[in-house]
Amino acid sequence: MTRPYPAYEAVGIRNPGGDYNQLATTLLQIENEFYGTIRPKRVIKPGERPLHALRERGVEYIEVRLMDLDPFVPVGITAQTMRFLDVFLLHCLLEDSPPDTPQEIAELKHNQHHTAARGREPGLRLKRAGREVPLTEWGAEVVAACAPIAAALDAVHGGAQHREALAAASAALREPASLPSARVLAAMAKDFDNSFVRFARAQSVKTQAALQGLTLPDEQHARFTELSRQSIAEQKQIEASDSLPFELYREQYVSVQRLGMPG
């Protein structure tokens, strides 16, 4: 974000006609282009750089970016999956985590790729501290380590929904035919001549119909209508109060000083 990247320098900020090709000539032009699997975040102030906000006021929330949508659920995720994520992320927070190493970073990259590309392969093995372990064995170990957290959450909220979410995850490791990926393959074979495009289009149409068929209470509809009106009014106010030419604003925004870096 601070060093010029030769390939982007060759492209230039603007083309001969004056239109903008890009915001900067660095490899990452703004923080939002850092496509990590999980990103630390916080709400920023107007005109503030996200990195500066993190440095000044710390992490407010995390953005989990590597979840696939569940095509069989109109909103893309079930409440049970969300409860499992709550348990798992708390486990990640509470578990000891020594500084990583180049070897661990390489293993993580390898594991992520292999799980995404070959996760349904029976007996798939992942790299862990220089040795290989079966994906299902490692997954079962993680799920078991989450059990005290699920029990604690259920004790606070009542019921057994977090433990049930953990049990479902454990069962999925033992029964891969119950996974969403297996359901997708079965539906493709049964109704769509093994075409993922046809399956995805059909599920999209069903999802659209399901969501558009929902009705909003009058009070909620009025609230959203008012929020929309306020948002448009605020946009117009922001645009009317612009006092800098865009190029000057761009230069200031991408400057090292705006990142708030020491020195």
Q: Residue with structure tokens 């977090």?
A: 162
Q: Which helix (H) or strand (E) holds 125?
A: strand 125-128
pLDDT at 139: 96
Instruction: Give the C-alpha distances (Å, rounded to integers) separating 139 from 38, 88, 93, 142, 220.
Output: 19, 11, 17, 5, 42
> Quick one: which H or E segment has residue 187?
helix 180-191
CA 67 to chain centre: 6
Is residue 2 a contact partner of residue 256, using CB atoms and an 8 Å limit? yes
For 202-211, letters b (16+ CB in 10 Å) and e give ebeeebeeee
**Amino acid identity of 60?**
E
Residue keyed to tokens 């190493």: 101
Contact 15, 21 (CB under 8 A): yes
Angle CA(23)–CA(26)–CA(27) in degrees, nearest 5?
Answer: 110
pLDDT of 67: 86
**Paired strand residues for 131:** 128
The pLDDT of residue 186: 96
**Tens digit of pLDDT per residue, the chain (263 long)?**
889 999 999 999 999 999 999 999 999 988 888 888 889 999 999 888 898 899 999 999 999 988 888 999 999 999 999 999 999 999 999 999 999 999 999 999 999 999 999 999 999 999 999 999 999 999 999 999 999 999 999 999 999 999 999 999 999 999 988 888 999 999 999 999 999 999 999 999 999 999 999 998 999 999 999 999 999 999 999 889 888 899 998 998 888 888 776 65
- The secondary structure of 161-226 as a DSSP string is HHHHHHHHHHHHHH-GGGSHHHHHHHHHHHHSTT-HHHHHHHHHHHHHHHHHT----HHHHHHHHH
What sign for the dihedral angle of Cα 175, 180, 183, 184?
negative
Token pair for 118: 């070959």
Whole-number Å distance between alpha carbons of 199 and 41: 35
User: d(Cα 1, Cα 51) in Å, to the nearest integer?
Assistant: 10
Domain boundaries, the chain: 78-191, 194-240
Q: What is the pLDDT at residue 158?
A: 96
- The pLDDT score that the predictor gives to residue 263 is 52
CB-CB contact of 1 with 51 (8 Å): yes
> What is the per-residue pLDDT for 255?
87
Helix 135-145 with 79-94: angle, nearest 10 deg: 80
Among residues 84, 51, 239, 64, the alpha carbon closest in space to that of 163 is found at 84
Report whether 22 contacts 3 (CB < 8 A): no
